[in-house]
Amino acid sequence: MKKKTDTRAARIRSARELFRIGMPRVLGVRVISLNPKRVVAELRVRPMHLNRNGRVNGGVLMSLADVMGAAGAVANRPLDCRGGTIESKTNFFAAANGPVIRAECVPLHIGRTTSVWQTTIRNKGGRVAAIVTQTQIGLPRNEEEG
């Protein structure tokens, strides 16, 4: 098997892939921009995202922030690493509502094995709905993981 060339562009492509699978795909998260220092995404609010009060469910906001922090981490670590979220803290400031919510994620710290990311989620008018701070870990892949 040919080893992938580890370049900035390859890391960005790898980070973008996170939005095409699993929960981000189901939720409909759309990447606006992605680079090692900033991730911006939007979510068009649909009925499935709403709680019984007609606001975006907190778990949806946390899932949005989680993939954004993960994408930022992947964009900053070698391709031969794997990783995940090891800590996440969410502060809710206002009910989130649509028709679109926008999120911006920036690094607070990028180290050798961990990185810390802060995602600010805003309503259409720009009001902050939530701020999520999370820690991502990067570990070498096992040989069998490829």
> pLDDT tens for residues 85-110?
999 999 999 999 989 999 999 999 99
Question: Is 77 inside a domain boundary?
Answer: yes
Domain span including residue 88: 8-145
Asked if pLDDT for residue 117 goes beyond 70, the answer is yes
For the ranges 51-55, 63-67, 77-81, 116-120, the lowest mean pLDDT is seen at 77-81
Q: Which residues are registered as beta bridge partners of 129?
A: none
Question: Is 20 inside a domain boundary?
Answer: yes
Asked if pLDDT for residue 142 goes beyond 90, the answer is no
Asked if pLDDT for residue 4 goes beyond 70, the answer is no
The fraction of the chain above a pLDDT of 90, given in percent, is 88
Question: Is 91 inside a domain boundary?
Answer: yes
Query: What span, in angstroms and rounded, lies between the C-alpha atoms of 81 and 77?
Result: 7
- Mapped onto helix, strand or coil, the DSSP state of residue 76 is helix
Question: What is the mean predicted confidence (pLDDT) over 30-47?
Answer: 98
Question: Is 2 inside a domain boundary?
Answer: no
Strands, DSSP E only, in 2-142?
29-35, 38-44, 81-92, 100-110, 114-122, 128-140
Question: Is 3 inside a domain boundary?
Answer: no
Question: Is 117 inside a domain boundary?
Answer: yes
Tokens of 63: 């899932």
Q: Which residues contact 89 (CB under 8 A, 6 or more apart)?
A: 132, 133, 134
Question: Is 22 inside a domain boundary?
Answer: yes
130: domain CATH number? 3.10.129.10
Question: Is 1 inside a domain boundary?
Answer: no
What's the total number of domains in the chain?
1
